Structures are given as C-alpha cells and as structure tokens.
Amino acid sequence: MFDIEEELKKLPAKPGVYIMKDKFDNIIYVGKAIVLKNRVRQYFRKNNKTTRIEKMVSLIDHFEYIVVGSEDEALILECNLIKKYRPKFNVLLKDDKTYPYICVDVKSDYPNVYITRKVISNGAKYFGPYPSGSSAKEMVNFIKEKFQIRQCRNFKFQDRACLNYHIKKCLAPCMGYVSKEEYRKQIDQIIMLLEGKIDSIIKSAQKEMKEASENLEFEKAALIRDRILSIERITEKQKVANFSENNIDVIGLHKNEVTVCIEIFFVRGSKMIGREHYFFDELKDMEEEEIITGFIKQFYMANLDLPNKIMIRYNLEEKEILEKWLSEKAGRKLEIKSPQKGEKLRFVEMAELNSKINLENRVKDKTEVLKELRDILSLEKMPLKIESFDISNISGNFLVARNVCCPKWCYKKKFI
C-alpha cells in the first residue's frame, strides 16, 4: 500500500521530475522541481488550489520521482516524459499531427527540394514546420517553378533529358548539362529564400543576371530577371509593415470560460512566413504564465527552426532555464522577451487579437452546428448536452457499453 504522507517524508531536497499516477497506474501529470521535497508537498497541503489542481490531486493514488543533477536536466526530462506519456493534466498540443518541413538534401551532388513530415539526422537542411501542407506545397511549387532544379525525387543519369528540361524547368543534371558548382548556386539561393534572406538572394541573383548579360546569354538573364520579380512579389505579400525584427516567433493567448487559444506568428527576415493556432480545453483556471510555459516546452521540443527571439506578453518564472534550454537546442543565443511598448508590443497584441478572433469563431462554428442539429431534430431549444451509447458483445456474451457525453468536460463512463 502506497502511503502518500510517508512517501512525502522521503522526498529528497534535490532537483528532479515527479510523476503523478492514478489508481490504474496511469500517468496523469509530470512536473519538474528545483527542490522535489518542497514542490511535491505543495500539492497535498491545505492551501488555495485551482479547481483543476484539486481535481488532479483527488485522482493521485501514488507518485514517483527521478532525481537529476540540475534544473536543466530536469527540464529536458520533463519535456521528454510529457511527449511520451501525454498526461491529461499537462498542457498538451492535443493535435498530434506531424507538421510538414521543406527538406534540401544538401549532401547530394545535385540536391533536390521536397516536402517531408519526418525529420532525421542525415545532413540535410530542414525548414519549418509549416502550418499546413498547402503552405509548404505552395513554397516548393514556387521554388521548382522559378529555379531550374531537378524535379525527380530519385536522381540517376539518363539516356535523354525529360520534358522539364525542354520547357526550361530543369537544367538536366542527369545528362551532365550543368556542373555541380553551377547547380549549387541555385541551391544556395533557395536556402537563402527559405531562411528569409531576401535581400541577399536578390543581390546574388542580380549579380548572376549581370554576368549572363555580359556573356550575351540573354535568355538566361531574362529567366533570372523574372525570378527576381517573382521573389519580390511573393515576399512583399508577407512583409510585416514597420517591423525590424527578422527572426522571431510571437505568441498570443486568449481564453474564455471554457477554452484557451494560443496564436503563434512565425517571422523570418521581417516577413510573416506562417502562423498557427491551438485550442486547449479545461485550462480556464490555469494561470496564463503556466499555460505559455507549458506550450513553449511542448512546441519547441521537436521544432528545428528555432527563432532568435520569442515574444510574449508575460514574464515567465522559468524564463532563464527555458532560454538556456532553447539556446542549447538552437546552437546560438535565444531570448524570451516581454515587450512593454512600441512595435514589438503592438505585434504581441496582434497575436493576442488573432487568438481572440479564432476562439470566437470556434464558438460560433459550434453554435451553428448545434442550431443545424436543433432544426434537423425539430427541437424546441438548442441542445446543451449530448450523450451517445455504443454497445458491443462477442456472440451475445461479454456485453460492454460505453457512454460518451458532450460537452466532453461532463463525464465518461464505462459499464460492464
């Protein structure tokens, strides 16, 4: 029998990670502590707790802990355990889809550019994650339309060039029509484009266009000119007006009585290259700082395209340890800033406004669905609670039924 009071006395005054479990041995919460003895005890003392924490504590049957050498190690271990076990009382990115990246296989003699959802350590360069497959596809299509790189996924030498060569969409490296050095120039420009270094790529392309013109290669010069114009048009649409920061993520948060919405803007080279929003239920009584801290740990755990700065509204208690962890992942200094005035504060407010709008739209969408259901079923009032049952058996025996209630915060029961 696990005696919580006795186990609390055994807790060491060292940094580590604690793991809360219910009576079924399910992990329901993972947290880190600078001093395990002090942090874990707080959950079981009679003090003011939020409804969420009270509910979690009521489900705790036993706990475990792992002692580590430093707070840095505790943070990394906490993130790994949350990612692996996805405890219900942690802040989770519940949409567990794998986001697309754009890969440039720079180790190849004639590199290709393609979309992938699997990031591996193979020496290639990965850019992303992109908010959606369509946005990544749009960028790859643009690159293959404006740069004459190979279209084939598996490169091999051919007896004749394919159609892409004849319509000026490929330099036919498979036929040896272009040197590795010449082909690499285009790849370097593509990498600069994906990194948001627009001024550098345009300057490089202009130099290349001038050289082609001086060599009387007017058709090549015209292709490069058109490429420059296309790059200027596509990046101008993404320009963030009057914003000087060139490599940042901006996070905004808004919550109502039920749901929290987090909006994140991705800015590279002063260009808005994408955005994403996430919804979290059952966090309404959690402090904003705690929600943002949990989100940062989850979001940047597997993210390879780390910014130079993360801008948020709140001053986080774990700011320094998060900055250290993220800087080590990025291989350079990464700061978490809470702007108080000027353009930076305005941009944080813009992210917060978008999170508010997305949350309001989500509520409106749900309301419209319920209205439609009311009309179909000829109900007098809007349905506020929906219950469904699923019954299963094996040849008339082992009868099992499940009841699911919506809204999902009502309850779930299993009857045997």
Q: What pLDDT is stored for residue 410 in this prediction? A: 42
Domain membership of residue 347 (yes or no) is yes
- 66 and 164 fall within a common domain: no
The token pair at 224 is 């490069």
CA distance 228 to 204: 10
- pLDDT-derived band at 412 (thresholds 50, 70, 90) equals very low
Q: Of 61, 85, 109, which closes a domain?
A: 85
- 218 and 107 fall within a common domain: yes
DSSP label at residue 174: G
Least confident among 48-62, 188-202, 278-292: 188-202
- 159 and 196 fall within a common domain: yes
**Range ranked top by mean pLDDT from 7-11, 198-202, 406-410:** 7-11
Domain membership of residue 173 (yes or no) is yes
| pLDDT tens sequence across 306-352 | 889 999 999 999 999 999 999 998 889 999 999 988 878 888 998 89
Domain membership of residue 298 (yes or no) is yes
- 164 and 113 fall within a common domain: yes
Domain membership of residue 170 (yes or no) is yes
Domain membership of residue 374 (yes or no) is no
Is residue 408's pLDDT more than 50? no
Domain membership of residue 119 (yes or no) is yes
Q: Of 236, 263, 297, which closes a domain?
A: 236
Higher pLDDT, 32 or 159: 32
- Comparing CA positions, the residue from 285, 292, 297, 352 lying closest to residue 326 is 297
- 180 and 303 fall within a common domain: no
Instruction: Report percent pLDDT > 70 for the chain.
Output: 89
Is residue 97's pLDDT more than 60? no
- Asked whether the whole model's pTM tops 0.85, one would answer no
Domain membership of residue 95 (yes or no) is no
- 358 and 253 fall within a common domain: yes
- Domain enclosing residue 120, as ranges: 101-236
Share the mean pLDDT of the chain: 82
Q: What pLDDT is stored for residue 161 in this prediction? A: 83
Domain membership of residue 91 (yes or no) is no
- 280 and 187 fall within a common domain: no
- 16 and 66 fall within a common domain: yes
Q: How many domains does the chain have?
A: 4
Cβ atoms of 252 and 355 closer than 8 Å: yes
Domain of 35: which CATH number?
Answer: 3.40.1440.10
Q: Which distant-in-sequence residues (6+ apart) come within 8 Å of 186 by Cβ?
A: 147, 148, 149
**Range ranked top by mean pLDDT from 88-97, 174-183, 377-386, 403-412:** 174-183
Higher pLDDT, 230 or 40: 40
| pLDDT tens sequence across 285-318 | 788 999 999 999 988 887 767 889 999 999 999 9
Domain of 352: which CATH number?
Answer: 3.30.420.10
- 269 and 347 fall within a common domain: yes
Q: What pLDDT is stored for residue 414 in this prediction? A: 41
CA distance 318 to 414: 40
- 256 and 206 fall within a common domain: no
Is residue 170's pLDDT more than 90? no
CA distance 229 to 198: 12
| pLDDT tens sequence across 211-262 | 888 888 888 888 888 878 877 766 555 445 445 567 889 999 998 877 889 9
Helix/strand/coil for 319: helix
CB atoms near residue 64 (< 10 Å): 11
- 282 and 398 fall within a common domain: no
Cβ atoms of 356 and 261 closer than 8 Å: yes
Q: Of 29, 55, 85, which closes a domain?
A: 85
Q: Which amino acid appears at position 182 of this protein? A: E
Q: Which distant-in-sequence residues (6+ apart) come within 8 Å of 169 by Cβ?
A: 144, 145, 148, 151
Cβ atoms of 245 and 344 closer than 8 Å: yes
Least confident among 30-39, 89-98, 165-174, 191-200: 89-98
| pLDDT tens sequence across 59-69 | 999 999 999 98
| pLDDT tens sequence across 100-138 | 888 898 888 888 888 888 777 778 888 876 766 777 787
Q: What pLDDT is stored for residue 413 in this prediction? A: 40
| pLDDT tens sequence across 56-96 | 999 999 999 999 988 888 998 998 898 888 898 888 775 54
What's the residue count for the chain?
Answer: 416
- 216 and 146 fall within a common domain: yes
